[in-house]
Amino acid sequence: MFDIAKRTALGAVILMLMPAAVWISGWLWVPGENPSVLRPLYWVTETVSEPWGILTTVILCGWFLWCLRFRLKPAIGLGVIIAASLLVGQYAKDFIKGEVREPRPYVAWLGTDHQMNVGEFYAQKSKLRGKQVKEILGDDVQIPHWLNKSWQNDTGYAFPSGHTMFAATWALLGIGLLWRRKHYKTVTVLMVWAVVVMGSRLMLGMHWPRDLLASVGISWILVTLACWLTERYVGPLTPPPAEKQEISERD
């Protein structure tokens, strides 16, 4: 357990470096960034959003199972544990959002620059909130049409970040489950992807740096527990002798 916690904790610290640096620097989101920069970040954030997040989950689940070489029964057990860690994270996110009720950066900006009452905005149902965003922005040229639509569809509270929790959970699962089998390229890709997802949430006006930090912390707790359950009830995380030979040949 300690070895798993230590390994995943290191990954969590690495993921926290970017939002921590942004928070310390005092950087604040403002509208009007270059669309050529924002659009690729939007595509990255869509890999976590519905419905594409479901496809991302299926692909990553399949890849993890292939990397771990578990037989059918253990593979099903691992799939259940991964799904549970993702779902618990999202339910925890929804509960905390409802308790903290922190406005998103773009909503705070609408309140300041467009004299929108933020309290009344969040008192409405999500469909009415989206309609209000559309009406306020109208043909505002500094907000790209696709970002305007994204805001209309994502009018919930900010703290914590569900997108960050999803991406960080997968990245930390990579460290917890695949590191001992030396799938370093997979772990690196997952970590980079998670950091870019987190950066996209900042740049698109969806989250504050503290939202990302809290989400990584929650993901670390869930992943550490998931990896411990996997090792205890599903199968060893260290490769068996036959796979060690394959790993040495791969290296």
Could you tell me if 187 and 175 are in contact, meaning their C-beta atoms sit under 8 angstroms apart?
yes
In whole angstroms, give the CA distance from residue 90 to residue 173. Answer: 16
Residue closest to 4 by CA, chosen among 177, 129, 140: 177
Peptide bond connecting 105 to the previous residue in cis, omega within 30 degrees of 0:
no
Question: CA-CA distance, 79 to 39, in Å (whole number)?
Answer: 33
Provide Rg for the chain, Cα atoms.
20
Catalytic, 207? Answer yes
Phi, psi dihedral angles at 200 (to 5 degrees): -65, -35
Task: Please answer whether residues 176 and 227 qualify as being in contact, where contact means their C-beta atoms are separated by less than 8 angstroms.
Answer: yes
Separation CA 225–CA 191 (nearest Å): 19
Check if 114 is active-site.
no
- Alpha helix (H) residue ranges in 101-232: 105-113, 118-123, 126-137, 145-153, 162-173, 184-203, 209-229
> Exposed, middle or buried, 91 (CB in 10 Å: 0-12/13-18/19+)?
exposed
The full DSSP string for 21-41 is: HHHHHT----S---HHHHHHH
Amino acid at 46: E
| Residues tagged active-site | 163, 207
